[in-house]
Amino acid sequence: MAQVLAICGSLRKGSFNRQLMNASISLAPEGMTIKEAPSFASFPLYNFDDQQATGIPAAVTALGEAIRSADGVLICSPEYNWSIPSGLKNAIDWLSRMKEVPFIGKPVCIQSAAPGLLGGSRMQYHLRMSLQSIDAQLFGKPEVIVNLAAAKFADGALKDQAALDLIKQQLASFGEFIKRVRK
């Protein structure tokens, strides 16, 4: 059984990406469970001086340990100004300073949703680079990029059948990827 930890890159109530994450949680294939990660909302802005003075905050350790004990990580995030939202990037920066970096060797799968045509794809590219720098194992294809999001979500849930089918395919392939990485 693969246990996957899901991180939402948006802190917004009514976030499309949270709804995307919830769709993935409910579509987890046989042999996989997906649960939401502890929040990074309370992480202070990363500052090396603060880290030296007071160490790694408890909330960072909580997320780091949850990542460490998971078999894989799913990140569902919006794109801000063509890149990674600052809250999520700040979380990665803190996690990268833990004594044993929890992302090392960890299978990671990315999804995004955005109202625009590119659906957060530029964020996905930047997130791949950032996670590669701390030796995560990035899952490749199929990619889940939910563009034109305003038309695909309703009543707090993802309704687009093509996107839902793609999520199922991606999670099934991610499950196989986790098995390959584990070997």
Q: List residues binding ligand FNR (CB under 6 A).
A: 10, 12, 15-17, 78-82, 114-116, 118, 120
Residue tagged 């059984």 (tokens): 1
CB of 154 to ligand FNR, least distance (A): 14
Collect all residues with Cβ–Cβ distance below 8 Å to 44 and sequence separation of at least 6. 50, 57
CB of 115 to ligand FNR, least distance (A): 6
**Spatial distance between the Cα atoms of 104 and 173, rounded to a whole number of angstroms:** 21
According to DSSP, the residues that pair with 3 across neighbouring strands are: 33
Q: Could you tell me the smallest distance in angstroms from the CB atom of residue 26 to ligand FNR?
A: 17
Select 85 or 102, whichever has its Cβ closest to ligand FNR. Answer: 85
Using Cβ positions, the residue closest to ligand FNR within the complex turns out to be 78
Cα 30 to Cα 108: distance, rounded to the nearest angstrom: 19
DSSP-derived secondary structure letter, 28 = P
CB of 88 to ligand FNR, least distance (A): 11
Residue closer to ligand FNR, measured from CB, 114 or 178: 114
Q: By C-beta, is 53 or 117 nearer to ligand FNR?
A: 117
59/63 Cα distance (integer angstroms): 6
d(CA 55, CA 90): 15
| Comparison of 2 and 114: residue with beta carbon closer to ligand FNR | 114
